[in-house]
Amino acid sequence: MRVLLLCGLVYSFSVPLCGVDRADSRSSLEADTADYIPSLGSFFGLAGRKLDAIASEYGLYWQPHLTESRRLIRSAARSIERRGTALVLGAGKCREIPLQQLARDFDHVVLVDLDSVSMREAVELIPEFLRHKVEIRVSDITTFTRSFVKMARQIISTSRDVKDAEIRLAGLYLSLDHLVRIPDLPHADFVVSSLVLAELARYANTYVAQLFSQKFGSEISTWKNYEELRSNLFHFAIEDHARLLASVTVPTGVVYFADTTARGPNLSTVSSAEREKILDELVGRFERVGVFRKIQARPEIWNTFDNLFKKLSAIGMDNTAGETEIVYLDKVIENIENPDGLSTDWRSRVAAEAAARLLCRGRLPIDTEISAYQAILQSYQVIAPQSMESLVDHKTFLKDLNEYGLKPFGTAASWFWLEYPCSIPRKPGAFLVNSWTLRWMN
């Protein structure tokens, strides 16, 4: 079933929003608030530069994620008979997309994003003789982002005070159906939506949050019904994206869909008992992937590990898991009084903690570090699954697609993207990525 979207009027204002996006056109509304925050195009460009900065710091840790993603996209592309147009939604810099291969295998590749700089950089990275096959389209891939942001700017710049703005913005978050503006996108034989769905509502929401905070010096997250409003926007984005995929994929076409479905680990959700079990689990995993062997192989690393082990044994592992002070202090005293009498369990937990603290200091080979981080994430996932916080309700998304007639085939895949590994486990630094390939079922 295909959906025909109707062109709507925006919110309570009579501003028709149908038609093709012009990325660099700036309305007078945007000019009103230009002092507070960049235009939508610059906002997306800035987000692209931030991702670039993270990639230049942690890019080596991203390799397994990029390799797996490219492999799965190539394999999905191979299942398509007619290789006319490939459409890449929210393409950005195409880091995890095999752009060169798509340009070789398809007649025409269309990249779509609101961040034009990143897409241009992506095209510059492929051989010159293939570049003419790639079209860059600077466009909103949702029906609502551009209109939502425009309305939010207008509300924020014309509100009498913070309360007035809050009430009017809440109305905007709850009337998203009125913001419909159909993205101008081609039909395609292969549609790639990679790591985009979770970002759609997040970008729009972050833009409004920043604008509000700049103008009023307070945070939208403190609004009484903020969670309800935010959740309405995120649900709307899920339906919107399912509708888009269904409307751009030709009847013989294939969709590759992947998203960051969870982020973690979030230590604040982990009890001290779970933390101990995680360390128990981690010892075995570290052993299996050779972390301790690599530490032992180099005397200077072994010395650092040994020092850390002794310190942690004497003072106790730090108390980030929220252990009560009394229990924590008891352990510390017990260890100081009787360091040789540490139980085997306690010793191996300390060893796991000490090895984890050696990571991200440029001492161990990068592949050992990556395996060690994967082991940490798997341990959290097994012992404290709640520590990987869900970002997108992909079950609802797949159900929506199913209702349109797009169904997964082949096997679903799942892997970790070590986005900011060095903050793990103190702060959530990794994404769980899930992917599916879908086609029309009759």
Binding site residues, ligand SAM, CB under 6 A = 44, 47-48, 51, 90-97, 113-115, 118, 140-142, 145, 194-196, 199-200, 203
Using DSSP, state whether 189 is helix, strand or coil: strand
Supply the minimum distance, in Å, between the C-beta of residue 123 and ligand SAM: 12
- For 212, residues 6+ apart whose C-beta sits below 8 A from its C-beta are 152, 156, 165, 169, 218, 219, 220
Supply the minimum distance, in Å, between the C-beta of residue 2 and ligand SAM: 21
Supply the minimum distance, in Å, between the C-beta of residue 57 and ligand SAM: 14
Supply the minimum distance, in Å, between the C-beta of residue 76 and ligand SAM: 15
Supply the minimum distance, in Å, between the C-beta of residue 90 and ligand SAM: 3
Supply the minimum distance, in Å, between the C-beta of residue 399 and ligand SAM: 22
**C-beta of residue 111 within 8 angstroms of C-beta of residue 119:** yes
Supply the minimum distance, in Å, between the C-beta of residue 151 and ligand SAM: 15
Which one, of 387, 412, 101, 416, lies nearest residue 271 by Cα?
A: 387
* 335's tokens: 């260890």
Nearer to ligand SAM, 93 or 394 (CB): 93
Nearer to ligand SAM, 23 or 34 (CB): 23
Nearer to ligand SAM, 196 or 267 (CB): 196
Nearer to ligand SAM, 153 or 294 (CB): 153
**Alpha carbons 7 and 168: distance in angstroms, whole number:** 23
| DSSP symbols for 278-340 | HHHHHHHHHHHTTHHHHHHHSHHHHHHHHHHHHHHHHH-S--TT---HHHHHHHHHHHHH-GG
**Alpha carbons 200 and 196: distance in angstroms, whole number:** 6
**C-beta of residue 312 within 8 angstroms of C-beta of residue 353:** yes
Nearer to ligand SAM, 118 or 379 (CB): 118
- Using alpha carbons only, give the angle 258, 259, 261 rounded to the nearest 5 degrees: 135
Q: Phi first, then psi: what are they for 254, rounded to 5°?
A: -130, 145
**C-beta of residue 240 within 8 angstroms of C-beta of residue 142:** yes
Nearer to ligand SAM, 150 or 285 (CB): 150
Nearer to ligand SAM, 112 or 350 (CB): 112
Nearer to ligand SAM, 260 or 379 (CB): 260
Query: Widest CA span of the chain, in angstroms?
Result: 78
Supply the minimum distance, in Å, between the C-beta of residue 92 and ligand SAM: 3
- For 278, residues 6+ apart whose C-beta sits below 8 A from its C-beta are 270, 379, 380, 383, 384
Supply the minimum distance, in Å, between the C-beta of residue 203 and ligand SAM: 4
Nearer to ligand SAM, 206 or 402 (CB): 206
**Alpha carbons 92 and 115: distance in angstroms, whole number:** 6
